[in-house]
Amino acid sequence: MTSAVRENKSDQRRGGAARGALEPRMLLTSLPDAVRKLDPRVLWRNPVMFIVEIGAVWSTVLAIANPAFFAWAIVVWLWLTVIFANLAEAVAEGRGKAQADALRRAKTDTVARRLADWTPGGRVVEQRVGAPELRRGDHVVVEAGQVIPGDGDVVEGIASVDESAITGESAPVIRESGGDRSAVTGGTTVLSDRIVVRITQEPGHSFLDRMIALVEGASRQKTPNEIALNILLAALTIIFVFAVVTLQPLAIYSKANNPGVPDTSALDAHGITGIVMVSLLVCLIPTTIGALLSAIGIAGMDRLVQRNVLAMSGRAVEAAGDVNTLLLDKTGTITLGNRQAAEFVPLPGIPDDEVADAAQLSSLADETPEGRSIVVYAKQVYNKRERTPGELTGATWVEFTAQTRMSGVDLADDHRLRKGAAGAVTEWVRSQGGAVPVELGVIVDGISASGGTPLVVAEVAEGRARLLGVIHLKDVVKQGMRERFDEMRRMGIRTVMITGDNPLTAKAIAEEAGVDDYLAEATPEDKLALIKKEQDGGRLVAMTGDGTNDAPALAQADVGVAMNTGTSAAKEAGNMVDLDSDPTKLIEIVEIGKQLLITRGALTTFSIANDIAKYFAILPALFVGLFPGLDLLNVMRLVSPQSAILSAVIFNALVIVALIPLALRGVRYTPSHASKLLSRNLTVYGLGGIIAPFLGIKIIDLLVQLLPGMS
């Protein structure tokens, strides 16, 4: 089961760029769905295409009453226009169905081991029930090899969990009680040990259920911008309906005053024929963007799914594109998170080698990343042999505690070494009768001001206590972060680093990383206050978080990205979940949101420009017999009114198919100022939308005139 999901995820990543391509197999598999969407009860949600369908039905009736090749050709292409529009949405939805099927396979008929009246350390009464019977607040026990029956939090124990059914990644993760990594997801598998899970979701509302619905597009709700654009398109459609209707009395009046003009299939004694009126209306209303609008929104969410981000709503994706302020945690996002030894600074009169030896010995039993880096640094830079605690017979290891804030070792010859925070170690030296040189404060302050963390090394040997030097731990900024933040700045986004470090350290790292601002010694209340302050200034805010203490800020932010490894409270508060738990993913999410908005704007520009060009194709051909002066507007020199109208209708249908790949892939986004993006869209898609119909309709006209009755 998990391998199928993993393979699907791998296919997504390998073919991310190719997913915009329109493969014949994709069209064939989506065609039945496109036909089913012809149901008026479904299509009425898209007012533009609903009007086209009504016109196709009316034209079909007219063609049956007065059969002719021209009439039936128009009818066929009107129906194809509606089907192609439905096909765009069906293809966008169909791309997520493979993943949804794989996720659905992860939902098995799991038997849960529910614990009745569970209390920590209390007597256990176990009941075996089906997973669908579990309710919020129930406690279940899960052991190695068993599937977790529902979403919840670990309240007892620690276990290794295989989450490949959700994330597609084969590497197991650790889930334990009492921390920010306590959340587990139904459908994942415990690989080792035993945990007790408190269920946090009702049946049918689990994380997996929501993910399946969102991936399939079944629960996708239109975003505010999408609704506003739909209203605009509906208004334009209504305007063009009235405009076309008013052409009928004009044609009747003009025909009556020009009795010598012969009837054509476009104009007869009763004015404009019904089929021609429908054709004119379909070509003038914004059918192109009306057909692609839904597909653009679905594809935007799909691009997030490709990057293992689950958006709880399309509104969140759209908001990401309008974000003005980005709040980023320092640790793990901007920096690597594990402070590394960067330098040993000896005090005056102390040899470098002696400081390195003492630093390594005092760190041998320190299993933290910082402690390991000190041992490795002493080996690589000072050629110190990497020793192990077992080699030092008679040694007593002093572990780090929050109270002492230092660690070290007592050797057999009454030689004691300590390493830790400057204040704690200097106090220890004073208690042993030693002195603290003035130079120590200068070194410690210098390291702190540079963004590093100073650890002081001291010893007691032969009854004499003395300070030896300082270890410079550096929180390493991730490679390429400055360039990423420069891109954000070009996009008009202000970046703010949030950290619990002191202001000196925060300032140094903020300058090195290139962020616009920072918030030092941040508490949950400080984060929430900063978000509200930004929002009060009219800005949209995005942030990431994983802990319960991040939940208020995630809920307040316009785009709150919760880490999948975080608590259930964080995932409930955010409107996106990053399945990879990569805090830097927030930058990609913003780029995807901007690409969605740009794609929608570009294709809207193209569609409206497209309609202007079709105006020059149909109206001159339609009325040139009555008003010869209109021949000047027939710049394409179309052969006849019939071929002009049919060519415009055919082009109107084919351009939808041609633009489906662009709608799915999205318009390429490069960070730049809004005015530059606007001018580029107007140039490429505005000008392109005018030129393309002139070329396309003319080519189709040359082919159409070869058909019977079209010359």
Q: Is 550 annotated as a binding residue?
A: yes
d(CA 75, CA 84): 14
Size (the chain), residues: 711
Q: Is 576 annotated as a binding residue?
A: no
In the structure encoding, which two tokens stand for residue 279, read together? Answer: 């054709």
Residues contacting residue 45 through CB under 8 Å, at least 6 positions apart = none
d(CA 307, CA 590): 13
DSSP result, 618-644: HHHHHHTTT-GGGGGG-TT--S-HHHH
Q: Is 403 annotated as a binding residue?
A: yes
In the structure encoding, which two tokens stand for residue 162, read together? Answer: 């295989």
Catalytic residue among 138, 302, 329, 501: 329
Bridge partner residues of 544 (DSSP): 561
Q: Is 370 annotated as a binding residue?
A: yes
Give the dihedral of Cα atoms 23, 25, 27, 31; nearest 10 deg. 180
Taking the CA atoms of 530, 533, 535 and 537 in sequence, report the sign of the dihedral they define: negative
User: What is the β-pairing status of strands 452-461 and 271-272?
Assistant: unpaired
Q: Is 402 annotated as a binding residue?
A: yes
**Between the CA of residue 197 and those of 164, 166, 424, what are the distances in Å?**
19, 18, 40
Angle between the 585-623 and 287-306 helix axes, to the nearest 10 degrees?
Answer: 160
Give CB contacts under 8 A, 24+ apart, made by 353-356.
353/382, 354/468, 355/457, 355/468, 355/469, 356/381, 356/382, 356/384
- Contact between residue 625 and residue 264 where contact means Cβ atoms under 8 Å apart: yes
Q: Is 404 annotated as a binding residue?
A: yes
Burial of 658 per CB tally in 10 Å (0-12, 13-18, 19+) = middle
Integer-rounded Cα Rg, in Å, for the chain is: 34
d(CA 654, CA 661): 13
Strands lying side by side in the sheet with 396-398: 340-346, 464-474, 452-461, 416-420, 406-410, 396-398
Residue located via tokens 């740009």:
598
Bridge partner residues of 698 (DSSP): none
φ, ψ at 184 (rounded to 5°): -125, 155
In the structure encoding, which two tokens stand for residue 564, read together? Answer: 């999948």
Q: Is 516 an annotated catalytic residue?
A: no
Q: Is 406 annotated as a binding residue?
A: yes
Residue type, 635: V
Q: Is 546 annotated as a binding residue?
A: yes
Q: Is 445 annotated as a binding residue?
A: no
d(CA 455, CA 467): 11
Annotated binding-site residue numbers for Mg(2+): 546, 550
Annotated binding-site residue numbers for ATP: 366, 370, 400-407, 419
Annotated binding-site residue numbers: 366, 370, 400-407, 419, 546, 550
> Known catalytic residues?
329
